Chain A
Amino acid sequence: MSIVTVQLGQCGNQIGYEVFNAICSDFHSTHGICSKKENESYQEACKERFFSEEKTGVPVARAVLVDMEPKVISQTLSMAARSGHWKYDHQSHFCQKQGSGNNWANGYSVHGPTYRDVIMNLVQKEAEKCDRLSGFFTVMSMAGGTGSGMGAYVTQCLRDAFPTSFILNQVIWPYGTGEVIVQNYNSVLTLSHLYQSSDALLVHENDAIHKICAQLMNIKKISFRDVNQVIAHQLGSVFQPTYSSEGASQYSRSPLGDLMESLVPHPELKMLGLRNIPQMSENSLAYSTFTWPGLIKHLRQMLIAHAKMEEGIDWQVRPPLPGHPVPPKASPNQALHFNTSVANLVVLRGKDVQSVDLGGFRDPALYTSWLNPQEAFHIWKTPRAFNKYEKSASLVSNSQFLLQLMDNVVGKAWNMFASKAYVHQYTKFGIEEEDFLDCFTTLEQVISSYASL
């Protein structure tokens, strides 16, 4: 079953390109020690999922590119075509000239409705090319105008047009020190609107990825390209084909469906975080070896200690002992030492995956009380190695990972809103103060749901 990717705004398009690039290079990479037959069926599944065939034989990405400025899309299209291994369908894009000026209201209330029909047409065409549609994967940032505002509108349209398909939104959380002045407003508006129409939100933070680039990948002068490549690697490691149940004989046909089913038991809890291990520069990779117990131990500690990467993990954090009540958390502002999960998914790729012991993740202490570990913990595996990593493990977690982040963003946005700063820029385009207040309420509710886990 196929996934249609919708790339929205500058960030969305740049990341989308890197994702397809990563998937394609994984497709072509050596298959480690798994059998040739295994490899072929992996490649089959990967192709069906992300690419469609064309007469020329070059796989065409199942994607729709949307932006209000022409620069990024034309760059993306030409870079893909130059690669020779894959390309975009040159009809499947939509752009305008003026941009959205980092204004969410402009993207949502003006550009969205105006260009709705054209964009939905493009999506429909891509969807029709699929034999079976698994769902939609949108890529966008929250800080800007097009990705965030128009992205929220397009997600709504997708939900209306395809009520039974799954929609997963990949959102990029901007740098905490500020890259767009109204990023907090844009983030709050985006999150609250996406919550209504999307099935799950998968979050990547610029700050965290930046640290990964600096400390793990050892990149001196980090460019956005580097950041995007790390994000693409992490996404690829989740969405490439896997066997989603024990004893399955073929690759999972419905990755998005499986993801939603496993991780989103309650519509109020949709925020997913992603961790991937190991992550290092290619040069170091040649000299490193890994053991599964080591990787799993690190991954588990990253989960419970809120760590964003495998360095600097706080090993002191432990799950609460059975019998001892979890100390009440008065407000989400208190440093959350222990991360309670709703549900977790671990994806294992590479050598000897059958022998991996994941007992540590089945500990009931990790999870909230109303879901038992059998239902809350899932594993996807494949013996086929991913992108030069002999062994790699990814964790997609519905937990309190994002609680602090959300709380911060809502706090800052509220501070600014209380001073009415920049609000006139939004009311100019039809987003009134009541709309802001509604969004704050929605998010406060989400925050308190997560805090009370």
Chain B
Amino acid sequence: MTQSVVVQVGQCGNQIGCRFWDLALREHAAVNKKGIYDEALSSFFRNVDTRNGGDGADIHKGKIFSLKARALLIDMEEGVVNEILQGPLRDVFDSKQLITDVSGSGNNWAVGHQLYGCRYREHIVEKLRRMAEHCDCLQCFFVIHSMGGGTGSGLGTFVLNVLEDEFPEVYRFVTSVYPSGEDDVITSPYNSVLAMKELNEHADCVLPIENESLFSIVSKIHQMTNSGKLGSTVKQNSLLTSSSGSIKTEQEKPFDAMNNIVANLLLNLTRLDQMFSDAFSKDHQLIQADPKHSLYLACALLVRGNVQVSDLRRNIERLKPSLHFVSWNQEGWKTGLCSVPPVGHSHSLLALANNTCVKPTFTELKDRFMKLYKKKKWAAEMLASTRDHWTSQSPARKWKTRLELYLNKTKEREDNSEVSSQQEKQIMRKQPVVELTLLPLNNTVYLKNLQQSIKLG
């Protein structure tokens, strides 16, 4: 089995990461009754012999001595990390897996990226190398961060840069929490857009999550039961890796740059088929988007629990007519089955989709950015840290233009209008990524639906 390393950056990243490790341990505990360190555990945990104190050697087989998470915790303030280290998960983290500072990034992307990035680069590289050496076969890095703050967005994207330089062959999956419209951090639009540029260039796959969606999902959970966890969505990562031997990123990325994925979390108390239907409805997305009315480029369905191939096929056939797939990939489905259900439930469904419905999200972000930038509010502070990152406003517009062009193109093919395609060709010529079919190919598209339907059984 292959291994993955989780890098959690900033307050949000670390808080989510903490819940992730908690769930991962509970999942393994539910299945691994004999306490044997097996391949599934090794994907996220090391088995370390701490009896003789210090950095014990890794034990690859046999009984579990002490499980250490394959994680790197980074934060420029100590509060959150300290809390984790004093909490119930303290033994899961190695003291050498932390990078902290005291003063924080002041919600300034530039401070996180430029200042702390430069200062801590060597440290980060060294710790990542050490984690990689402990892995037999490292397959991917999971980066968890938020986009609105300073450390998560700035230093988080810096780490992404480092990962690409040092480990070009290892996949980089990023879970990004996007700020909501009423976010209390004033500079969040700047931070987000600057971070998006980095994600565009250095991430293989992005799962955007919006706090608004999480709030509505949590309130749904509260309605149905009395428990709910805010960070529970990110745990989908564990589903992805434990159920598939190799991460099939190719499935979702038709073009080199299209790697944004919209995530959906779905809770369902009813039957199996209902779970599938809900997975595609807009109420259960991890960002505010409606995938049914947009174009799907590809969709992956990963089921856990007692679900058979016939259930999967039946539901795909049932739902297919109501979903719009891109013309050259009408059967763009990837299916996977894992017989181990998630802890506390009898089955669940994870749907990841590469869908154009993220366009409104990014358009809104861009609008918020422009509002601030027009008045040059706060720009001076950020400019003081860096000059040339201001060109990053254009990527947001580029993607939007490209998405529009793509969607227009689809419409045009129906209209058969020559003129607009000429215009597009002109526009396209300016973009360095023109391809044969005039589709936006080299841009990171943040479109993935991560949908989990959990039947409370």
- A102 near B250 (CB under 8 angstroms)? yes
- A223:B309 contact, CB within 8 angstroms: yes
CA distance A97 to B137 in the complex (A): 7
Tell me which residues across on chain B come within 8 A of A213, comparing CB atoms: 310
| Contact A177/B328 with A70-B39, A102-B251, A422-B254 known, Cβ cut-off 8 Å | no
A172 to B256, CA, bound (A): 29
Q: Which residues of B contact A175 (CB under 8 A)?
A: 313
Asked whether A412 is an interface residue with its Cβ less than 8 Å from the other chain, the reply is yes
Instruction: Indicate if A28 sits at the interface (CB-CB under 8 A).
Output: no
Is B414 engaged at the interface, CB distance under 8 Å to the other chain? no
Give the docked Cα–Cα distance between A3 and B190 (Å). Answer: 67
Chain B residues with Cβ under 8 A from A70's Cβ? 1, 39, 245
- Complex Cα gap A424–B327 (Å): 19
- A-B CB pair tally, cutoff 8 Å: 118
Per-residue CB proximity of A172-204 to B under 8 Å, as 1/0?
000111111111000000000000000000000
Tell me, in angstroms, the Cα distance from A180 to B335 when the chains sit together. 7
Report the Cα distance A360→B137, complex, angstroms. 59
| Interface pick from A31-39, A263-271, A413-421 | A413-421
Chain A 224-240: CB-based contact to B (< 8 A → 1; otherwise 0):
10010000000000000
CA–CA, A200 and B313, complex, Å: 30
Is B320 positioned at the interface, with any CB of A under 8 Å from its CB? yes
Q: A177-B316, A424-B255 are in contact. Are A98 and B334 (CB under 8 A)?
A: no
Q: Are A422 and B250 also in contact (CB < 8 A) when A178-B331, A178-B333, A221-B310 are?
A: yes
**A55 CA / B288 CA spacing, docked (Å):** 66
CB of A222 within 8 Å of the partner chain = yes
Which residues of chain B are near A99, meaning CB under 8 Å? Answer: 2, 244-246
Query: B331: nearest residue on chain A (CB-CB)?
Result: A178
Q: Are A179 and B335 in contact (CB under 8 A)?
A: yes
The residues in B between 313 and 352 inclusive whose CB is less than 8 angstroms from any CB of A are: 313, 316-317, 320, 327-335, 337
Which single member of B39, B334, B441 contacts A181 (CB below 8 Å)? B334
Q: CB of B64 within 8 A of chain A?
A: no
Q: Closest CB of chain B to A148's CB: distance in Å?
A: 14
**B248 at the binding interface (Cβ < 8 Å):** yes
Across-interface contacts of B310 in A (CB, < 8 A): 210, 213-214, 219, 221-223
Query: Cβ of B441 and Cβ of A420 under 8 Å apart?
Result: yes
**A293 beta carbon closer than 8 Å to chain B:** no
B1 contact set on A, CB distance < 8 A: 70-71, 97
State whether A98 and B313 are in contact (beta carbons under 8 Å apart), knowing that A177-B331, A180-B251, A418-B328 are contacts in the complex: no
Interface size class of A (residues with CB under 8 A): 35 or more
Which residue on B lies nearest to A184, using beta carbons? B331
A170 at interface, CB cutoff 8 A: no
- Name the distance in Å between A436's Cβ and chain B's nearest Cβ: 13
- Find chain A residues with CB under 8 A from B313 CB: 175, 177, 210
CA separation between A44 and B441, bound complex, in Å? 60
> Which B residues are in CB contact (< 8 Å) with A421?
254-255, 328-329
Most chain B CB neighbours (cut-off 10 Å) among A70, A177, A178, A213: A178
Measured in the bound complex, the distance between the Cα atoms of B329 and A102 in whole Å is 16
Give 9 nearest A-B pairs by CB, closest first: A99-B246, A178-B331, A178-B333, A222-B310, A69-B245, A421-B254, A425-B250, A419-B328, A99-B245
Size class of the contact patch on chain B: 35 or more
B432 to chain A, nearest CB (A): 15
CA distance A102 to B320 in the complex (A): 23
Whether B308 sits at the interface, judged by CB under 8 Å, is: yes
Which residues in chain B, 224-252, are within 8 Å of chain A measured between CB atoms?
Answer: 244-252
Given B245, B298, B327, B441, which contacts A71 in the complex, CB threshold below 8 Å?
B245
- The secondary-structure label for the interface of chain A is loop
Which of A69, A227, A421, A422 has the most CB atoms of chain B within a 10 A radius of its CB? A421
Beta-carbon contact of A424 and B331 below 8 Å: no
Question: Is A103 part of the binding interface, using a Cβ–Cβ cutoff of 8 Å?
Answer: yes
Contact, CB under 8 Å: A424 / B333:
no
Instruction: Tell me the bound Cα distance from A219 to B332 in angstroms.
Output: 27
Out of A68, A69, A181, A418, name the residue touching B332 (CB < 8 Å). A181
Is the pair A415, B251 in contact by a Cβ cutoff of 8 Å?
Answer: no
Residue B136 at the chain A interface, CB threshold 8 Å? yes
Residues of A within 8 A of B246 (CB): 68-69, 98-101
**Chain B residues in 8 Å Cβ range of A182:** 250-251
Supposing A100-B246, A101-B246 touch, asked if A178 and B332 sit within 8 A by C-beta, the answer is yes
A221–B308 touching, CB < 8 Å: yes
Q: Is the CB of A425 within 8 A of B253?
A: yes
A–B complex contacts, Cβ < 8 Å, 28 sampled: A68-B245, A69-B245, A70-B245, A97-B1, A97-B137, A98-B245, A101-B246, A101-B250, A102-B250, A102-B251, A177-B316, A180-B251, A181-B251, A181-B298, A181-B300, A181-B332, A182-B250, A221-B310, A221-B311, A223-B308, A224-B308, A224-B309, A412-B331, A415-B327, A419-B328, A419-B437, A420-B439, A424-B256
Interface residues of A (CB under 8 A from B): 68-71, 97-103, 175-183, 210, 213-214, 219, 221-224, 227, 412, 415-416, 418-422, 424-425
Are the C-beta atoms of A416 and B329 separated by less than 8 Å?
Answer: yes
Picked from B245, B331, B435, the residue with its CB within 8 Å of the CB of A176 is B331
Encoded as 1 (CB less than 8 Å from any A CB) or 0, chain B from 24 to 41 comes to 000000000000000100
Within 8 A of A (CB), among B186-208: none
B-side contacts of A183, CB under 8 Å: 331
Instruction: Convert B243-278 into 0s and 1s, putting 1 for each residue whose CB lies closer than 8 angstroms to a CB of A.
Output: 011111111111110000000000000000000000
- Nearest residue in B to A175 (C-beta to C-beta)? B313
Alpha-carbon distance between A277 and B1 when the two chains are bound, in angstroms = 42
Distance between Cα atoms of A173 and B328 in the complex (Å): 20
**Whole-angstrom CA separation of A213 from B252 in the bound complex:** 31
User: For residue B251, which residue of chain A has the nearest CB?
Assistant: A181
B139/A98 in contact, CB under 8 A: yes
**Can you name the residue of chain A whose Cβ is closest to the Cβ of B320?**
A177
> Please, which residues of chain A bring their CB within 8 A of the CB of B384?
none
- B residues near A416, Cβ cutoff 8 Å: 328-329
Do residues A178 and B309 form an inter-chain contact, with CB atoms below 8 A? no
**Alpha-carbon distance between A269 and B328 when the two chains are bound, in angstroms:** 29
Q: Are A98 and B2 in contact (CB under 8 A)?
A: yes
Nearest CB in chain B to that of A415: its residue: B328
Give the residues from 45 to 90 in chain B that come closer than 8 angstroms, CB to CB, to chain A.
none
A210–B309 Cα distance when bound, in Å, is: 9
Please indicate the chain B residues that have their CB under 8 angstroms from the CB of A223 in the complex: 308-310
* B380 within 8 Å of A (CB atoms): no
Beta-carbon contact of A412 and B330 below 8 Å: yes
A-B contact sample (20 more), CB < 8 A, given A177-B331, A223-B309: A71-B39, A71-B245, A98-B137, A101-B247, A101-B248, A177-B320, A179-B334, A180-B334, A181-B252, A181-B332, A213-B310, A219-B310, A222-B309, A224-B337, A415-B328, A416-B328, A418-B328, A420-B441, A422-B255, A425-B250
Write the nearest CB–CB distance from A68 to chain B, whole angstroms: 8
Check if B248 sits within 8 Å of A102, measured CB to CB: yes
Smallest distance from the beta carbon of B255 to chain A beta carbons, Å?
6
The reply to whether the CB of B419 lies closer than 8 angstroms to some CB of chain A is: no
Q: How close is A209's CB to chain B, nearest CB, in angstroms? A: 11
A227 to B310, CA, bound (A): 10
Does B436 interact with chain A (Cβ within 8 Å)?
yes
Q: Which residues of B contact A180 (CB under 8 A)?
A: 251, 334-335
Residues A181 and B2 in contact, CB atoms below 8 Å apart: no
Task: Determine how close the nearest CB of chain B comes to the CB of A126; give it in whole angstroms.
Answer: 25
* Chain B: CB-nearest residue to A227: B309
Instruction: List, in ascending order, chain B residues with CB within 8 A of A415's CB.
Output: 327-328
Q: Output the nearest chain A residue to B437 by Cβ-Cβ distance.
A: A419
Minimum CB–CB distance from B170 to chain A (whole Å) comes to: 11
Residues on A with beta carbons closer than 8 Å to the beta carbon of B256: 424
Give bound CA distance, A180 to B337, whole Å: 13
